[in-house]
Chains A and B, each alone.
Chain A
């Protein structure tokens, strides 16, 4: 199986599929198969995240490693999804546009490339909802 095809099989890689606990309603992304609060009383089921969230904090990366150099300067933020879990991800917008508290929505984008002829990594980034 090719690497790209293998990645497609990972639920949280290309789709925002995590899990939730039906006992306490806590959501997990990336997915957990066990609820740390309810333990043996937890009931874990798959959950497809809506992809909406709010920026908790951010930085603008000016000096990046080779894989991300082409994107600089770019916004890297901690996003709190509406269902609760937090993610660290790029926000696709001008660096002077980003604000703490800004509403964002997930999009499927190219994340990085392994050199000229290497594998292209795709995954989740965010864009402003406005």
Chain B
């Protein structure tokens, strides 16, 4: 909270570090997945939405409309609601981006995710654990690899293979990846097959 000021009120530790990194997933038709692994994960939803490139042309700067649209589309595809999700990896490029994403994806009403987070509801053992991987801020942001890294974390959790950061009974997870300061948002919902 006392780190160098970057763009008021965001300080250095509010901003994700752009890093090197790599991640990979193997995608296969579900009926063939067991040829490659004993613990396949099913993609219940893969949804994308877009918005204007320029931030100043957006309807509201405290909401990413692309996130809202992609989230709603993903829930419809999976025939699920936010209550069914056990954990979520959100695109916390800045600390405020995590707060907005939790709200935009429907886990909290607008304006309440700050308190929700401070109350520990997004921590391990909270109502909806957010960014058990550390997210973009604590794990680093290797831009193109970030979205895949989010999927990796959800897969580890669903396979009960996440070690000290394992969520009890992790069954359904969501990932939320953003490009171009919100010009593009991609939301996935994954579950044990």
Contacts from A to B (Cβ < 8 Å): 56-57, 59-63, 76, 78, 86-88, 95
Contacts and interface: CB of A to CB of B under 8 A. Distances in A.
B27 interface: no
Contact of B4 (A61, A63, A88): A63
Contacts of A62: 4-8
B54 A88 contact: yes
Main secondary structure of the interface of A (DSSP, over half): strand
A81 to B, nearest CB: 11
Contacts of B54: 88
Contact of B8 (A56, A59, A86, A87): A59
Interface string B93-135: 0000000000000000000000000000000000000000000
A101 B102 CA distance: 29
B8 A78 contact: no
Interface string B1-38: 00011111010100000000000000000000000000
B77 interface: no
A87 B56 contact: yes
Contacts of A95: 8
Given A86-B57, A87-B56, A88-B54, A60 B8 contact: yes
A88 B8 contact: no
A88 B7 contact: no
Contact of B55 (A61, A63, A88): A88
Contacts of B57: 86
B167 to A, nearest CB: 35
A86 B55 CA distance: 10
A86 B7 contact: no
B63 to A, nearest CB: 13
B5 A78 contact: no
Contacts of A88: 54-56
A56 B57 CA distance: 11
A86 B8 CA distance: 21
30 contacts: A56-B56, A57-B61, A59-B7, A59-B8, A59-B10, A60-B7, A60-B8, A61-B6, A61-B8, A62-B4, A62-B5, A62-B6, A62-B7, A62-B8, A63-B4, A63-B5, A63-B6, A63-B7, A63-B12, A76-B7, A78-B55, A78-B56, A78-B61, A86-B56, A86-B57, A87-B56, A88-B54, A88-B55, A88-B56, A95-B8
